[in-house]
Each structure stands twice: as C-alpha cells, then as structure tokens.
A and B are shown apart, each in its own frame.
Chain A
C-alpha cells in the first residue's frame, strides 16, 4: 500500500520513543548527553563498516556503538584526560573515520543526508523487527535492574555500600543507550538522536514527582513528538528527524510556559 512506509515509520518511532523515555531520563539525571552524542557520531562509522564489509548494517552500527561504549569505560580508568575531552575526541574521530571510509567506497550510493537527519522512506519491515527485539530487551533489562539503576543515580557510594555492583550497572546503562542509538539512527538521524533522548525527559521533569513518573511521561511525550513530527514530515515534505525534534521542542516550550500551579518545580 502507498501509506505503508508512513505506518512503518510511525510504529518504529513510537517503539523507539517508549524506550527512549526512561533511558533519556538517565541521560538527563546523570548528565550523559555528550556521551549520547559521541555514540551517535560513531554510528556513521558503523554504517561505513557495514557497507565496506558487506555485512548487515544494523549489526554493524550496534557493534560499533557497543565497542565505543566499552572503549570509553576502559579509557576512563586513566586520569590524565578528562571524560568530556575523551568523548570529544571519540565523537569527531569516529564521525570523520566514517566519512573517510565512505568516500573510499566508489560504487556506494550512500545518501549521507538520510543518515545524518533520518529518512522516513528508509524504514523497512525488517527494521521494525530490530526495534521490537532491541526495545523489548531494553525494557526487560530496565525492569530487572531498575532499583539498582535508581540507587546508583542517587549516589554511587551509597549504592555500593548497599550492595549494588556499580561498574556492572554503569556499563549496562551505557550499553542500553548504545543499543537505542544504533536503532534510532534511521528514524531521526545521527545528528539528532540525543535530542530524542533528552528533550522528552527534560519536558517531563516539571510534571513529575518520582523518577518512575518522569520516565513514563518522557515516553509519552516522546511518542507524541514522533507522531506529530512524522505526520508533519509527510504532510509538508520536511526531513523526518528535524520535524520530530521540532515537535519535541514545541512540547518542551509549552510545558515550561505552563503556569507554576500545574507544574511542580521542586
């Protein structure tokens, strides 16, 4: 059917927004947005490797993001270079490596804009399977490790004394974020993925009294942004990723303009 691609994009986008809600909340709470950005940039290297080695592109992207997350954890152990510098180096090196690699592939008809800003037409049913598997795995892990993740976010030392394996849980969170970014790339594009994580979570903050509430609200707001953005993108022929982000921004501004009595800002 003619509308199929729109349905696919909507289903994929909503699936993504659901997992991006809680994970984005952690990105906001733990100030990891630069980390998300760096992982997203490395996704382009995954695309290039995927094309170059002729392997499944989704696998290549996921592998590349996970590898970068692990590399970062290992590199953080040294104390000479600060984490934000390290992230900056990794983000731009991997983006450039990806672009350079792509330029070597002569016959590849790569639509760079689609990777950078997302493409509605790029989503095929096979991608929905990836989103479903990845999303369900992340939701299950989030449920299983929720108390530990929350305890660690409140205070790592307190959590450690209470028996939380900090290193393990921190790595798990990084890997989950890497997985979401890998899957989200097709819909919102490399340059805009972090916004899908942080804008809904930041919008949910003034309306929430508990971390659980904030995570769920962030999912809902993310879903609303995806639906509004994708429909607008279809209607007005605007790029998919930026349209979703603009929709999220409109919701964000709207919530912060609400009178204080509706929004508790403690």
Chain B
C-alpha cells in the first residue's frame, strides 16, 4: 500500500477579496503521478505553490511528510540577461555537488552536450530538461512540474512525458504536475484532478492506445504517452467561474489513486 506524503485538507487561498482556491482536499502518495488540469485562472499554479510552501493557505491545512525533499520545475524561469550563467553552473546548486553528480543528472535528461552552453540561448524544451536536471540533483521524493510541456511541439511533448515517466520508474519518486490540456494527459498518470477553484472531478485517465482515429492523427508514439481524461462534472460554471445551481447529481467525487 502506498503511504501519503502530502495531505491537503479543505485548503482555501484568497488574494485580497478573490478566493482563488476553494476548499481543496486531496492526498499525494508515494510512487504516484498526479496531474492537475483546469481552465486558465482556475488556481492550479496557486494550489501547487501551496503544496510547495510558497503560498500560505488562508484556511485549511497542508501536511507534508517530515523531511520531504521536493524538486520543483517552475512554469517559466526568467533569468536576467545581465546574469552570466552556463548550464553547468546553473546545475551546481551547492558546493557539495560534484562533477559526477551533474554528469549523471544531465545524462538522464539527455542534455550532456549543452553543459557548457549559456543558459540564455536554450530553447523551451531544452530549458525544461535543464530545470528537470536541477530538480533531480536534489534527489527528490516528490517532483513538482508546472505545465512542463507548455510551448513545446507535439513531438517534444511526447519526449518530455516519456522522460517524466522514465524518471518516475527509475527513481520511484512521486510526481505532481499541471497540464495545460483539459483532455490530453500523460498516460502514466495515475490520478487526474480537474479543478476550477474547487475540485470539479477526479479520476483515472483512459488509455487511448487502441483508438485508431487518435493513432491516425498523432501517430503511435503519441498514443502510447498520452491518455484521454473524460470529465464527469456534476455541475456547470458560468463565465465568472462560479458554480451554477445544480440540476441533478449524476456522479460523486471519488476514485482515488489505486495500484
């Protein structure tokens, strides 16, 4: 049985008068990939930052396993051009990190040849890999990625998803990630949480490996790494994101990660 490493108990976050996250409850377990999906402004990044401890919840509680090491890959990393920085120097986060550690980390994300490059000339996909390498150097038990495939083309997305699931397999760490797509998630995902301020629904994604129309469209490699998530909302939102009065409850919020 997997043990919990993070527990969120009806967490709410407000900025001023605006409640961005409303009473969200979920657990993260060991060796489990959780994907958060939701429209723009749904509070996904805020929720993840609450897990990271960067944002304090206005209500509710966040429990983390003691000494939990988290590797964080932010959505975008803007490094000022006035700051001279090579990939190698970026990865040397502390004096204790050796040349071998860095070489191992860059090998696992396939960026060995970029080591001496300046960080300012990297492409979006390369930068994501460099940031993942930095996160891995901390030997994390939980890897948190904020929209890792945003701005990366479909082949790059497949490669990055493949890389993330390889990392999980190899290291057995848990992964919490935000996906920019409402319906396509990484197939290795164990648990999908769809949120729009509050949790709308959650569950497992469906494998699409066998769906011929999808394979025609994106090719077999994509079908293996992507999965479809079908939503089962019991309510609708208006344009402001507020929940509309319920008509009939069809589904209950349930289905946790099961292995």
Interface residues of A, Cβ cutoff 8 Å to B: 28-29, 31, 147, 151, 153-155, 157-158, 160-162, 202, 205, 208-211, 213-214, 264, 266
Q: For A162, list chain B residues within 8 Å (CB).
A: 72, 93, 138
> What is the CB-to-nearest-CB distance from B64 to chain A, in angstroms, rounded to a whole number?
12
Let me know if A209 and B54 touch, CB within 8 A: no
- Closest B residue to A202 using CB positions: B82
Let me know if B77 and A155 touch, CB within 8 A: yes
User: How many of B's residues come within 8 Å of A, CB to CB?
Assistant: 26
With A and B bound together, what is the CA distance between A36 and B184 in angstroms? Answer: 50
Residues 76-114 of chain B: 1 if any A CB is under 8 Å from the residue's CB, otherwise 0? 011110111110011001110000000000000000000
Q: For A208, list chain B residues within 8 Å (CB).
A: 84
Q: Report 7 cross-chain contacts, Cβ distance below 8 Å, ordered by A residue.
A: A147-B95, A160-B53, A160-B54, A162-B72, A205-B84, A208-B84, A266-B121
> What is the CB-to-nearest-CB distance from B155 to chain A, in angstroms, rounded to a whole number?
27
Q: Which of A28, A29, A161 contacts B52 (CB 8 A)?
A: A161
Q: For B72, list chain A residues within 8 Å (CB).
A: 157-158, 161-162
- Closest B residue to A31 using CB positions: B80
Q: For A157, list chain B residues within 8 Å (CB).
A: 49, 52, 54, 72, 74
Interface residues of B, Cβ cutoff 8 Å to A: 49, 52-54, 70, 72, 74, 77-80, 82-86, 89-90, 93-95, 118, 120-121, 134, 138
The 10 A-B residue pairs whose C-beta atoms are closest, nearest first, are A266-B118, A161-B72, A208-B84, A29-B83, A210-B89, A266-B120, A147-B94, A161-B52, A28-B82, A214-B84
Given contacts A161-B72, A210-B89, contact A29 B82 (CB under 8 A): yes
Q: For A28, list chain B residues within 8 Å (CB).
A: 82
Q: For B94, list chain A residues within 8 Å (CB).
A: 147
- Closest B residue to A26 using CB positions: B83
With A and B bound together, what is the CA distance between A237 and B74 in angstroms? Answer: 55
With A and B bound together, what is the CA distance between A31 and B54 in angstroms? Answer: 23
Given contacts A209-B84, A211-B83, A211-B84, contact A154 B54 (CB under 8 A): no
Let me know if B85 and A161 touch, CB within 8 A: no
Q: For A205, list chain B residues within 8 Å (CB).
A: 82, 84
Q: A161-B70, A213-B84 are in contact. List 11 more A-B contacts (CB 8 A).
A: A29-B82, A154-B77, A155-B78, A160-B52, A160-B53, A202-B82, A208-B84, A209-B86, A210-B84, A210-B85, A211-B85
Let me know if B80 and A209 touch, CB within 8 A: no
> What is the CB-to-nearest-CB distance from A33 to chain B, in angstroms, rounded to a whole number?
11
Q: For B79, list chain A residues within 8 Å (CB).
A: 154-155
> What is the CB-to-nearest-CB distance from B94 to chain A, in angstroms, rounded to a whole number?
5
Let me know if A151 and B93 touch, CB within 8 A: yes
Given contacts A29-B80, A162-B93, contact A154 B52 (CB under 8 A): no
- Closest B residue to A201 using CB positions: B82
With A and B bound together, what is the CA distance between A210 and B93 in angstroms? Answer: 13
Given contacts A147-B94, A147-B95, A211-B89, contact A154 B53 (CB under 8 A): no
